[in-house]
Structure 1
Amino acid sequence: MENTSEIIFDKLVYSCAFESYRGHEEFIPDHFLGFQISGETHAFHEHGKTVIKENTVVLVRKNQLIRTIKYPSAHEKYQFVSITLDDETLRQYAAENKIVVNANFPGNQRLFFEPDDFFKNYFASLTPYINKTQGISANLADLKVKEAIELLLLSNPDVRNLLFDFSEPHKIDLKEFMNKNYMFNVSVDAFARLTGRSLSGFKRDFSKIFEMTPKQWLKEKRLKEAYYLIKSKDKKASDIYLDLGFENLSHFYSSFKKKFGVTTTEV
């Protein structure tokens, strides 16, 4: 049966899967509030792996790379719903409510929230729009997003220091970041933004550090890691090519043979 991800209105997204489904790498440009209705989401990111279990509310930070695997439960299909909290909406909310950020939000704080009656009733109120039994006006859609912000602040007032921090990402150590995130198959633009650089600045700094273009380095890095995993860890090419950022298996095979002069089975 088909796996779907559907935009119900511009900031509400509903995902459904009937079988285990490996999602694509994603650059997360905006915060979003999500609810795991059924099944589990396994999210892989720079700091490791996070498992979002059934009946869990989670706030996902903006400006990060994530890869997901979606698992249905034994008795129910996979269902996840999310509300995008974009900067424009958050700026407007902060202005209307005179919110001021007064501290840095801890970078390693887990952003799970208890699915109390408020959160349960909130996500239940989205069901008619997901099931298409009721339409939604633009004004009501805006109110639902603001309601999500209110609930987050009610659950953890310190979240204001995350949601309403509109500073630009600071320039971070490019070499360290790329060595941690090279396996994510996203655009060079996304890598530039995540390291706090313009595209031209990213390419210039990258060339100074690695003495090659980002695309050349990414391909080299991924192929070397593939060689190591196949030769030293006895991994199969079909099991690792997606995790290393290659889009299809045939391209991986041809690139591997061109780089090392042997096929993956001859290593």
Structure 2
Amino acid sequence: MENTSEIIFDRLVYSCAFESYRGHEEFIPDHFLGFQISGETHAFHEQGKTVIKENTVVLVRKNQLVRTVKHPSKNEKYQFVSISLDDETLRQYAGENKIPINVPFPEKQLLFFEPDAFFKSYFISLIPYINKTEEISPRLAALKVKEAIELLLLNHPEFQNLLFDFSEPHKIDLEEFMNKNFMFNVPVETFARLTGRSLSGFKRDFKRIFHGTPKQWLKERRLKEAYYLIKNKDKKPSDIYLDLGFENLSHFYFSFKQKFGVTTSEI
């Protein structure tokens, strides 16, 4: 049975899988609070890999790229529930509660933790909506999101500097960012946004740094990485083509032969 993700209400998403399932690249536009009900989520991002184990709460930052692999446990299907903390709700909450931003939040701080009794009770309270035994009104849905914010700040007051920072992504080192994120198969517009640039500004800076178009460079960079992994790490093309941003295996084989003049089995 294949993976299913279901929107329970506009900011609550339930994901279920009975077999290991590789998700697609995702641009995370809003912070979200997630709870691993059963199984494990292996999340791959710019800083490496994070394993979210059963009975763990995770706060995922907005404005980043993430790829996931969902693994059921031996005895249970994979289940993960997440609730989005969108900017509109967070702005309203900050205004109502006069919350200031004190200092920038550390970019590399890990944001997953064991749930306490309050967090457990909170996620248990969502189960009737996930199981469709109860319907939720828009007013109650808004209150559930605010309750999640309250719990986060109660347990981790320092998170206010993350949640209520509404500044746009600042202009960052384009070369460093692209070399860390080239394997994500997302639109150029997403790369532009994440580096703090307009699309035209991104293309202009990209050409100045890499002497070509994003499409050309991404293809070349992914093929070079594939060559390295196959030749030096003994990786199979079928195991790496998706992780390197290629959409199908036949296109990968064709591009590889076109670039290097040999097939993957000949190197």
How would you bin the TM-score normalised by the shorter chain?
over 0.9
Partner-residue secondary structure (3-state), 1:265: helix
Query: Which residue of structure 1 lines up, in the alignment, with residue 188 of structure 2?
Result: 188
CA deviation after TM superposition for structure 1 residue 113, in Å: 3.0
Query: Which residue of structure 2 lines up, in the alignment, with residue 127 of structure 1?
Result: 127
Alignment partner of 1:255 is 2:251: no
Partner-residue secondary structure (3-state), 1:55: coil
Amino acid at match of 2:133: T
Alignment partner of 1:31 is 2:28: no
CA separation in 2, counterparts of 1:218 and 1:55? Answer: 38
CA deviation after TM superposition for structure 1 residue 239, in Å: 0.8
Assess if the C-alpha contact under 8 Å between 1:113 and 1:155 holds in 2: no
CA separation in 2, counterparts of 1:108 and 1:241? Answer: 28
Question: Over residues 77-118 of structure 1, what are the superposed CA-to-partner deviations in whole Å (9 max), with x where a residue is unaligned?
Answer: 000000000111101111111111111111121112331111
Partner-residue secondary structure (3-state), 1:62: coil
Amino acid at match of 1:60: V
CA separation in 1, counterparts of 2:250 and 2:19? Answer: 25
CA deviation after TM superposition for structure 1 residue 206, in Å: 0.3
Assess if the C-alpha contact under 8 Å between 1:91 and 1:164 holds in 2: yes
Partner-residue secondary structure (3-state), 1:125: helix
1:200-215 pair list within 5 angstroms: 200-215=200-215
Amino acid at match of 1:238: S
CA separation in 2, counterparts of 1:3 and 1:142? Answer: 28
CA deviation after TM superposition for structure 1 residue 254, in Å: 1.1
Which deviates more from structure 2 when the two are superposed, residues 227-236 or residues 69-78? 227-236
CA separation in 2, counterparts of 1:222 and 1:162? Answer: 33
Query: Which residue of structure 2 lines up, in the alignment, with residue 53 of structure 1?
Result: 53
CA separation in 2, counterparts of 1:228 and 1:102? Answer: 45
Query: Which residue of structure 2 lines up, in the alignment, with residue 19 of structure 1?
Result: 19
Number of matched pairs: 267
Partner-residue secondary structure (3-state), 2:264: coil
Assess if the C-alpha contact under 8 Å between 1:15 and 1:79 holds in 2: yes
CA separation in 2, counterparts of 1:109 and 1:255? Answer: 38
Alignment partner of 1:114 is 2:103: no
Question: Over residues 218-266 of structure 1, what are the superposed CA-to-partner deviations in whole Å (9 max), with x where a residue is unaligned?
Answer: 0010011111111222211101101101111111111111112221112
CA separation in 2, counterparts of 1:126 and 1:215? Answer: 43
Cα RMSD, aligned residues only: 0.8
CA separation in 2, counterparts of 1:94 and 1:228? Answer: 49
Query: Which residue of structure 1 lines up, in the alignment, with residue 41 of structure 2?
Result: 41
Amino acid at match of 1:232: N
Query: Which residue of structure 2 lines up, in the alignment, with residue 168 of structure 1?
Result: 168
Partner-residue secondary structure (3-state), 2:265: coil
CA separation in 1, counterparts of 2:180 and 2:113? Answer: 28
Amino acid at match of 2:111: L
Query: Which residue of structure 1 lines up, in the alignment, with residue 87 of structure 2?
Result: 87
Query: Which residue of structure 2 lines up, in the alignment, with residue 66 of structure 1?
Result: 66
Question: Over residues 164-196 of structure 1, what are the superposed CA-to-partner deviations in whole Å (9 max), with x where a residue is unaligned?
Answer: 000111100000110111011111111111111
CA deviation after TM superposition for structure 1 residue 55, in Å: 0.3
Amino acid at match of 1:119: F
Alignment partner of 1:158 is 2:158: yes
Partner-residue secondary structure (3-state), 2:221: helix
Question: Over residues 2-51 of structure 1, what are the superposed CA-to-partner deviations in whole Å (9 max), with x where a residue is unaligned?
Answer: 21011111100000000111111111111000000000001111111111
Identity across aligned pairs (percent)?
83
CA separation in 2, counterparts of 1:114 and 1:225? Answer: 37
CA separation in 1, counterparts of 2:75 and 2:31? Answer: 31
Amino acid at match of 1:46: E
CA separation in 1, counterparts of 2:144 and 2:261? Answer: 57
CA separation in 1, counterparts of 2:198 and 2:69? Answer: 31
Q: With the length of structure 1 as denominator, give the TM-score of the two structures.
A: 0.98
Question: Over residues 123-149 of structure 1, what are the superposed CA-to-partner deviations in whole Å (9 max), with x where a residue is unaligned?
Answer: 011101111111111111100000000
Alignment partner of 1:102 is 2:129: no
Which deviates more from structure 2 when the two are superposed, residues 107-116 or residues 247-256? 107-116
